[in-house]
Amino acid sequence: MLEIRHLRTLSALRSAGSLVRAAQLLNLTQSALSHQIKLLEERYGGPLFERKSVPIGFTATGARLLKLADLLLPEIETAEREVARLTQGDTGQLRVALECPACFEWLMPVLDQFRQRWPEVEIDLVSAAAADPDAAPAALLRSGDADLVIGPDCGPDWVALPLFRYETLVVMAPRHRLATQRRLRAADFAGETLITHPVPAPRVDLVRAVLAPAQIPFQRRTAELTVAVLQLVASRRGIAALPHWAIRQYVDDGYVVARPVGEHGLWSELFVSVPAALRQQAYVRDFVDVIRAQCAASLDGIQLMS
């Protein structure tokens, strides 16, 4: 029998573009997802999508089921939200603090979709720098200045809802001395000027995970906007360490080049941290789901966490 979870699987395959990312989006193991698809294909007597196509191309059977998913899933999700409003209330406030300055690029579409789904919930962005540029992210939650923080795990006093892992790459001008290297080591950064957003140095991933442990001396310059950071890098004023999604267009256009750090890359984890009292709030859970779905569909080089 065709079930709602099967329709969600097909929708996730289309959004994520691959079995691996669809499994992450659905919080399933890849083997569990493959088994579910195999049973569906046995039921309908043929493949639902082309295995070797990138992105995934659906067969006529798969496309027909996907059309059904497009009809039913929005209605189901709307009904679930309406039931949540009846049981939990339909109004609220979400003050969002962003501890990841480079995340503004993908956060705006997330906020737009969330407002459409929860028009009664007032959602605002809180400037962490304005509150206290040197304060830890959890301080905004503790002081009541924010309802949730998007960034690293805020610690054991808060509930951390997982979003995704992402790789930080080092960007530099095409003729920079480090551009000839395939991968960078801590010693390569000695004497370099690191251009970052204006956050405390210990909260910069490259500093925290690479430069500080190796006691590598470096200079630092800051810029408010990611585009300003990249323009300074392209002008050979220094180097920067940014997520793949923030630099892709500049790399593709040849303004800068990007290199991984270390043998396995420099990976960071992103969470939504909330007080325990908000964990089960329907609009908070939906906000996290919207982030995961939007980012799985639009950001390269991330790995959803379960």
What stretches of the chain adopt beta strand conformation (E)? 49-50, 57-58, 92-98, 121-126, 148-151, 159-172, 193-196, 219-222, 240-243, 257-259, 266-274, 302-304
Per-residue pLDDT reduced to its tens digit, 262-302: 999 999 999 999 999 998 888 999 999 999 999 988 898 89
The average pLDDT across 136-150 equals 86
User: Which tokens hold the place of 235?
Assistant: 């002008």
User: In the prediction, which pLDDT does 295 show?
Assistant: 92
Between 85 and 162, residue with greater pLDDT:
162
The average pLDDT across 224-253 equals 95
Q: Tell me the domain boundaries of the chain.
A: 4-86, 96-164+268-304, 165-267
Multiple choice CATH, 96-164+268-304, 1.20.1250.20, 2.170.8.10, 3.30.1360.70, 3.40.190.10: 3.40.190.10
CATH topology of 96-164+268-304 equal to that of 165-267?
A: yes
Fold of 165-267: D-Maltodextrin-Binding Protein; domain 2 (3.40.190)
User: In the prediction, which pLDDT does 136 show?
Assistant: 67
Is residue 130's pLDDT more than 60? no
Is residue 22's pLDDT more than 60? yes
Q: Which is nearest to 239 in space by CA: 188, 203, 202?
A: 188
CA distance 99 to 151: 5
User: In the prediction, which pLDDT does 33 show?
Assistant: 92
Residue type, 216: I
User: In the prediction, which pLDDT does 46 show?
Assistant: 92
Fold of 4-86: Arc Repressor Mutant, subunit A (1.10.10)
Q: How many CA atoms lie within 13 A of 23 on its CB side?
A: 13
CA distance 70 to 252: 33
Is residue 66's pLDDT more than 90? yes
What does pLDDT average to over the chain? 90
Residue type, 172: M
CA distance 260 to 266: 7
Rounded to 10 deg, the angle between the 226-234 and 244-252 helix axes is 40
Per-residue pLDDT reduced to its tens digit, 77-94: 888 877 877 666 656 889
Is residue 129's pLDDT more than 60? no
The average pLDDT across 8-35 equals 88
| pLDDT band at residue 255 under the 50/70/90 scheme | very high
The average pLDDT across 239-251 equals 94
CA distance 225 to 165: 22
CA distance 23 to 32: 8
3-state secondary structure of 123: strand
User: In the prediction, which pLDDT does 220 show?
Assistant: 96
Is residue 133's pLDDT more than 60? no
Per-residue pLDDT reduced to its tens digit, 179-211: 999 999 999 999 999 999 998 899 899 999 999
Q: What is the dihedral of CA 277, 283, 287, 293, to 10 degrees?
A: 120
The average pLDDT across 45-59 equals 88
